[in-house]
Structure 1
Amino acid sequence: MAKRPTRYDANLPKNLTYRRKYRSFYWRHPITRKELPLGQIARRDAVGQAIEANNYLEQNYLPSTLIERIKGREEVLTLGSWLERYEVILDRRDLKPNTIKIRGNQLKMIRSVMGEYLLSEIDTRQIAEYLESFNAQGKGSMSTALRSVLSDIFREAIVEGRIKTNPVEPTKAPRLKVKRERLNYDEFKQIYLAAREQPQWVGLAMEIDLITGQRREDVVLMRFTDIFDGRLHIEQGKTGMRLAIPLDLRLEAANLCLGEVIERCRSSHASDYIINTTRRSKNGDTSLHPDTLTKAFVKARNATKLDLGDNPPTFHEIRSLASRLYSIEKGEEFAQRLLGHKSAVMTKKYLDPRGKEYVLV
């Protein structure tokens, strides 16, 4: 037999009900449909609180008559409802698949905590408390990322006339201290030597990354067919930046030439991917997953006797090492162009040794 739905007592104010089983009063929010327990209080007190809550909503949020709706009184929105509209806005931005995935997870987190809040009633204090919950857990990067997303969410709401101010703007992003250690060239050489105990592609991947300065996601997608007119052509997956790197590019500090490294890769296998494994996937693809590069690098790094602290460098730090070496040999502008940065500010971050190297006087 189907469960009988809860009926609201006609003798009580609307949205208020009394449950005999628990001997408690409950008030249901007419917008979010969430019930709030009032506890085992006197009937008179429960009625008074319900009337007060109903009047507050009717005066501030709910158009009580049809004529008010026709006149265009602002529709009440919860943050969760607005996020549905915001997701449509995101779809129009032509974001990268990985960015869409990350943004979806972030919106899910925000919706789970603040989805039932009225959009127009969310204030800076609520935003600050939400972000602080991550800071208290030592998740400063998460807090910073969510602050950026929340700011964009409310900015779009302002554009469409849903609200007038952005409650995120007065908050401050936490100052993040990057914990991962930088990699210097001496450490790179020791890890490279340890990588010889692994398949040949591990050391070749380290060489390719050092000579080109590209992200691991771009390294694994490099193909021999991308080489023409004496250059290796790359379209960066993260930014869409298109680079044409000459094969005669040399990094003197490492005694590497791009063309020579590529030829060693060509002689090591018969695949179209410059860096690949002999193992094939179900569709016959021999390309590597970016995480495979990281895991192989970590294995080689751990095989050395290097003391690299509590947060040792990963494969990605080869990109920073390349930028610092090229900056010394060819200047910061060349390093910026090679890394594919539109802003010199971003390149400066990669050039920062984080106290790893001495300042030459």
Structure 2
Amino acid sequence: MSVTVNEWMLKYEAIVLNRLTVGEIKPKTWGDYKRLIRFCSATWGVKPLNALSISEITAEIKQKADTAPFAARRLRINLSNMFLEAQREGEIPPGHNPALLSRPLLTTVKTERLLFNEWLLIFKAASYCAPDYFQRAMLLAIVTGQRRADIAKMHSSHVRDGYLHIDQQKTAERIALPLTLRLASLGCTLGEVVDMCPSDGWLIQKNGQPVHLWSLTRWFQKCRESAGVEAAVGKMPPSFREQRSLSERLYREQGVDTRTLLGHKYQQMTDGYNDIRGKDYRRLKI
């Protein structure tokens, strides 16, 4: 008799946890798999694992896609991995992978890119409608090109030997940015931005404590709305995270190694940030 979904989930969780322990996957990926395990148990529970059909898998993915298309795409990928591990453990026949045979989802990003002139408007609005730390957060975001979570964790102790040292939370990549790094469009160096921040403790802080990530998102939205930066019909306005793409595009024009700046292993990942999604014209320089 085939193992049930619930029974397999117990074994699968141990397999994935071991992959985390040996460093094969990152903590974020571990979190994705934990959510997958809960989903499978709640959805199919006592049903035999080898009885799950392509149509059942497809139906769940389509239902998820109605509200969260990118989460649905991730669900398909993670389900495919789950079935692959079951094949390796001999719990289901070789080749039985209904998730892999389901139709891949075509997803389009609806969030608009952020242009530099829009960034300036939002930055100016932050001077009168956001806490003091928020302008510094925006400056660190555009000058370093780092993710929101990494900006919130930047500490004065990370500044040493002329560099700002960053251990990226999402990927565990470790990069060191020179304080002399200068964003020409802004006319400002990383060292000058760091000097604006507290000299002892978190670079972005409130009452001596690091700020919550949601506050960065919230204040960016408020300042964007105050600045009148809107999205085209059918699009979503740029969020705090779009400063990372803007930073990459501005530095690439300067000839900076943006792959190292962003902490990417592959150039293809960096090139994705360089895509302006039809927001503006690419101008030929002669």
What is the TM-score of this pair, normalised by structure 1? 0.73
State the match for 1:177 in structure 2.
Answer: 108
1:222 alignment partner in structure 2: 154
2:119 is matched with which residue: 188, 192, 199?
A: 188
Q: 1:129, CA displacement in angstroms? A: 2.2
Which of 155-164 and 209-218 deviates more? 155-164
SS in structure 2 of the partner of residue 338 of structure 1: helix
How big is each residue's C-alpha offset from its partner over 1:280-323, in whole Å with a ceiling of 9 and x where there is no partner?
5xxxxx11111111111111111112232451111100001001
> Greater relative contact order: 1 or 2 (C-alpha under 8 angstroms, separation 6 or more)?
2
- Alignment partner of 1:325 out of 243, 246, 250: 250
Which one of 120, 134, 139 corresponds to residue 68 of structure 2? Answer: 139
- Between the aligned partners of 1:347 and 1:328, the Cα distance in structure 2 is 14
The CA distance in 2 between the partners of 1:315 and 1:133, in whole Å, is 29
Q: Which residue of 1 aligns with 2:60?
A: 130
Letter of the aligned partner of 2:110 in structure 1? Answer: K
Pair member with larger Rg: 1
Q: Decide whether the 8 Å contact of 1:202 with 1:293 is kept in 2.
A: yes
Per the normalisation by structure 2, the TM-score is 0.91
Look up the SS of the partner of 1:93 in the other structure: helix
- Letter of the 1:126 counterpart: E
Structure 1 partner of 2:10: 84
Q: Which of 301, 309, 319 is residue 224 of structure 2 equivalent to?
A: 301
Question: What displacement does 1:92 show?
Answer: 1.0
| Residue 138 of structure 1: how far off its partner (Å) | 4.0
1:153 pairs, out of 64, 82, 92, with 82
- Determine if contact 2:36/2:79 at 8 Å carries over to the other structure: no
Contact 1:202 1:296 in 2 (8 A): yes
Query: Which sections of structure 2, spanning at least 5 residues, go unmatched?
Result: none
CA distance in 2, matches of 1:202, 1:215: 15
**Distance in 2 between the 1:320 and 1:355 partners?**
14
Q: 1:289 aligns with which of 212, 215, 223?
A: 212
| Matches of 1:176 and 1:218, distance apart in 2 | 27
Higher helix content, 1 or 2: 2
Distance 2:200 2:30 in 1: 31
Q: Is the 8 A contact 1:208 1:261 kept in 2?
A: yes
2:182 is matched with 250
Q: Kindly report structure 1 stretches of 4+ aligned residues shifted beyond 6 Å.
A: none
Residue 186 of structure 1: how far off its partner (Å): 0.2
Counterpart contact for 2:145–2:243, Cα < 8 Å: yes
The equivalent residue for 1:274 is 203
Once the two structures are TM-superposed, the CA of residue 118 in structure 1 deviates from its matched residue by: 0.9
Q: What do residues 30-63 of structure 1 show as CA deviations (whole Å, max 9, x unaligned)?
A: xxxxxxxxxxxxxxxxxxxxxxxxxxxxxxx4xx
Distance apart, 1:111 and its partner CA: 1.7
Q: In structure 2, what is the equivalent of residue 12 of structure 1?
A: none
Superposed CA RMSD: 1.6
- CA-CA distance at 1:253 after TM superposition: 1.0
1:21 alignment partner in structure 2 = none
Question: What SS does the aligned partner of 1:91 have?
Answer: helix
Conservation of the 8 A alpha-carbon contact between 1:131 and 1:147: yes
Partner AA of 2:11 in structure 1: R
Residue ranges of structure 1 left out of the alignment (5+ in a row): 1-60, 62-75, 281-285
